[in-house]
């Protein structure tokens, strides 16, 4: 370590152990100005937005949509998107967690998105049919209850049935 950096680190540690957080500091305020010239990007350097997980996910999903069978090689995707394979794994772990993709092999995944939507639609259709059947059963039971209630009322009002034998 350089002498100046070592002294700066030692001073920071001394502040932490002495609990004198308001002591004089020769450096800039925390979080500001620590990296001079960071705002200016060289022509080859990507911006923070260009390397964001959000944009990378959108680009990855575009690759998936272009695949004829919905299968994508993760190594190829990392090369095409020019990102670390770790970033691709971050994306695929989330998509797999919400069951939009499934692993075919170690480095290949398959899109399930449309299949999942069809499965949900099929389930909705089945539940709708179940609901109709239950409503019909309820209507039939209501009708039978009405018949029984009417017969019971007629029996209780009948004079012949009032006599005890």
Single out the residue of 88, 14, 20 nearest to residue 57, CA to CA. 88
CB 75 within 8 A of CB 85: yes
Tell the burial category of 96 from Cβ atoms under 10 Å away from its Cβ (0-12, 13-18, 19+): middle
pLDDT at 18: 47
Q: Which residues contact 92 (CB under 8 A, 6 or more apart)?
A: 74, 101, 103, 109
pLDDT per position as a tens digit, 118-146: 456 667 888 899 999 999 999 999 999 99
Q: For tokens 């299949």, what's the residue?
A: 115
pLDDT at 25: 46
pTM for the full predicted model: 0.44
């Amino acid at each position: 370590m350089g002498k100046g950096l070592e002294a700066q680190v030692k001073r920071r540690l001394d502040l932490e152990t002495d609990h004198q957080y308001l002591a004089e500091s020769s450096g800039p305020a925390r979080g500001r100005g620590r990296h001079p010239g960071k705002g200016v990007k060289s022509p080859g350097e990507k911006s923070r937005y260009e390397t964001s997980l959000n944009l990378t996910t959108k680009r990855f999903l575009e690759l998936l949509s272009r695949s004829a069978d919905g299968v994508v090689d993760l190594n190829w995707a990392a090369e095409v998107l020019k990102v670390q394979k770790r970033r691709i794994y971050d994306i695929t772990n989330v998509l797999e967690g919400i069951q939009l993709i499934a692993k075919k092999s170690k480095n290949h995944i398959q899109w399930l998105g449309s299949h999942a939507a069809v499965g949900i639609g099929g389930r909705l259709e089945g539940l709708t049919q179940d609901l109709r059947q239950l409503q019909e059963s309820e209507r039939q039971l209501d009708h039978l209850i009405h018949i029984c209630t009417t017969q019971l009322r007629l029996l209780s009002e009948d004079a012949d049935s009032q006599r005890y034998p």
